[in-house]
Amino acid sequence: MKKISIIVSCYNEQESLPLFYKEITKVMEEMDKNTFELIFVNDGSKDNTLNIIKDFAKKDKRVRFVSFSRNFGKEAAMLAGLDYSTGDYVTLMDADLQDPPKMLPEMLEIIEKEDYDCVGTRRVTRKGEPPIRSFFARMFYKLINHMSKIEMVDGARDYRLMTRQMVNSILECREYNRYSKGLWSFVGYKTKWLEFENVERVAGETKWSFWKLFKYAIEGIVAFTTVPLTIAGFLGMLFCFIAFIFILIIIIKTIIFGDPVSGWPSLACIIIFVSGVQLFFLGILGEYIAKMYLETKKRPIYIVKETEEEKK
Ligand code: UDP
Ligand code: MG
């Protein structure tokens, strides 16, 4: 008999939580050969989420919870869940039923019978998502997979079932700027991918604006590749080379034809262009330095205000 930890990060999920709980208990009953712990991580919700979770905990012994002192973001919430989990297998789910709990029995069967350490899920469609968002998401995956040695699967969700061994490896990565999609592949292990059609959120609304997603994408790039820095160096060299050729041409022209001063508009354009490029790469450098700055402060990744243990 194996123990399975189900980790659910929740931020303002009062509408979806009751629906989620109903669905997940159905699945847990179906898998009655195993024991469960259901860990809700309340990521500083401003609505009634925490009270709903406490109600679950009161009537259901399988329910545990961790409640943050403020909103720390989904990455921090997932880490807290993993820290608190005690199961032999651990799974992460969203509270909005976009990660179908009914896939769990199949995932467990694969991890127990076949030789895998992890069963991940990826959505093959992005139905119900704004087309612009899908387009940029696809571009992002192309870009980062070109730049980084770590493979990131397009459409991969954080919904996955992992062995205790893999979870422990992930817990060894204590970086402040967490980008889980990269961390899952960084730790390695054998992953089998299950595909499913995108499901729309049951209730409430998404917490991801386009801008937030954009910043998250930059985070992923900075966290898992230094190729942008290399490009900066390479472009710098290229520009020096072009400048050298131009100098030669100008010297030769002046010697042969005279006429040393002409073409100041082109000069102005070149100066603006080159300083633009410089500022751009200074910005990229800044991104990396900013991340280093945050990392060296060693601030806690999340702060827990209460858990179910203190309540009992
Ligand atoms: N979430 C969280 N902290 C946050 C934002 C989101 O714990 O700061 C949780 C949220 O409650 C949900 C999951 O992360 O369970 C996914 O969020 P959402 O559905 O808004 O993202 P989407 O599915 O649209 O990418
Ligand atoms: Mg969602």
H helix runs in 60-98, sequence order: 74-84
Neighbours of ion ligand 2 (CB under 5 A): 94, 96, 98, 201
Ligand 2 center from residue 201 Cα (angstroms):
6
Are both 239 and 165 inside the same structural domain? no
Are both 176 and 277 inside the same structural domain? no
> CB of 44 closer than 6 A to ligand 1?
no
**Look-up: residue for tokens 């609505």?**
47
Are both 58 and 198 inside the same structural domain? yes
**Look-up: residue for tokens 């961790």?**
66
| CATH code, domain with 49 | 3.90.550.10
Residue 89 to residue 168: CA distance in whole angstroms: 11
Q: Which residues, 6+ apart, have CB-to-CB distance to 37 below 8 Å?
A: 3, 4, 5, 6, 62, 63, 64, 85, 86, 87
Are both 28 and 152 inside the same structural domain? yes
Ligand 2 center from residue 198 Cα (angstroms):
10
Phi and psi of 257, rounded to 5°?
A: -105, -5
- Cβ 210 vs Cβ 137: under 8 Å: no
Are both 210 and 238 inside the same structural domain? no
Our CA angle for 41, 46, 50, nearest 5°, is 40
Ligand number, closest to the Cα atom of 70:
1
> CB of 212 closer than 6 A to ligand 1?
no
Ligand number, closest to the Cα atom of 14:
1
Are both 208 and 237 inside the same structural domain? no
Number of domains in the chain: 2
H helix runs in the chain, sequence order: 16-30, 49-59, 74-84, 104-113, 131-147, 164-172, 180-186, 210-224, 227-257, 264-297, 308-311
Task: Give SS3 for 306.
Answer: strand
> CB of 291 closer than 6 A to ligand 1?
no
Are both 159 and 249 inside the same structural domain? no
For atom 18 of ligand 1, the residue with the nearest CA is 206
Which ligand 1 atom sits nearest the alpha carbon of residue 72? 8
Are both 272 and 175 inside the same structural domain? no
pLDDT value at residue 311: 54
Task: Give SS3 for 30.
Answer: helix
Residue 142 to residue 55: CA distance in whole angstroms: 44
Are both 40 and 185 inside the same structural domain? yes
> CB of 120 closer than 6 A to ligand 1?
no
Are both 181 and 307 inside the same structural domain? yes
Ligand number, closest to the Cα atom of 130:
1
Are both 216 and 245 inside the same structural domain? no
Domain range enclosing 163: 3-225+299-311
pLDDT value at residue 32: 81
**Look-up: residue for tokens 């809700």?**
40
pLDDT along the chain (312 residues), means of 10: 92 91 90 89 92 91 92 93 94 90 90 90 80 84 84 86 94 89 88 84 78 85 86 84 83 79 74 82 87 89 87 52
Are both 247 and 122 inside the same structural domain? no
For atom 16 of ligand 1, the residue with the nearest CA is 94
- Cβ 120 vs Cβ 194: under 8 Å: yes
